[in-house]
Structure 1
Amino acid sequence: MLFITGPLYSGKRTFAAQFGGRQIYEVQDRAAEMTGLQALADELAAYDVVTATEVGGGIVPIDPAERARREAAGRLACLLAARADCVVQMFCGLPTILKGELPKC
């Protein structure tokens, strides 16, 4: 599995499109809906390409529910990165490989 992460509008989908296969985007939104993050990470690891927007930067939300949502998204990203064969961080449309090697297109 190729896991691509980065800020909003950093080029994650455009980059992911070149790899084909089964893809799922914006999985950080699913983290808040699930109580079993391990099970969700296992389910998502079956995809060829998974993308998640980084949500942990910036000001900590005052609302406890929003803080919990952000925490769940970060924990899910850690679980996905551990399961991934390759982890890429996108920034300004530029990929930085954090783990492994990119799959052949």
Structure 2
Amino acid sequence: MILITGPLWSGKRDFACRLLGCGREELAAQAVWDAQELAAGCDDLEALAERLAGKEVVILTEVGGGVVPTDPQVRRDREAAGRLGCLLAARASCVVRVFCGLPLVLKGEL
């Protein structure tokens, strides 16, 4: 599995499309995006990470780099997204961070 991460609107989906040789309309069939949303309210992040690790590409938006929300549930969801990112990165053969449309390989090779 290739994990693609980075801030919101950084070019993650466009990079995934180039990597997979598909258009945006075909991306859903080949990749999981917005994986951080799956972490929200998830009771078993390990099981979720195991399920996602079977996909070809997983896209996870970094959500914890800003102001700490006052709402406790939003804080828990952000923490779950961060923990899911760690679990996915450990399972991934390749981790790529995309920033300003530029991919930076953090682990493995493309």
TM-score bracket for this pair, using the shorter chain length: over 0.9
| Equivalent residue number for residue 97 of structure 1 | 105
% same residue: 60
Normalising to structure 1: TM-score of the pair?
Answer: 0.94
One-letter amino acid of the structure 2 residue matched with residue 2 of structure 1: I
- Cα distance between partner residues in 1 of 2:73 and 2:66: 17
Write out per-residue CA displacement over residues 35-91 of structure 1, whole angstroms, 9 at most, x where no aligned residue: 100000000001000001000101111111110000000000000000000000010
One-letter amino acid of the structure 2 residue matched with residue 60 of structure 1: V
Greater than 6 Å deviation, 4+ residue runs: none
Q: Which has the higher helix share?
A: 2
Q: Which runs of 5+ in 1 are unaligned?
A: none
Write out per-residue CA displacement over residues 3-59 of structure 1, whole angstroms, 9 at most, x where no aligned residue: 000001100000001233721100000001311000000000010000010001011
Q: Which runs of 5+ in 2 are unaligned?
A: 21-28
Residue-pair matches, total = 102
**CA RMSD of the aligned region, Å?**
1.0
- Cα distance between partner residues in 2 of 1:19 and 1:95: 11
Normalising to structure 2: TM-score of the pair?
Answer: 0.89
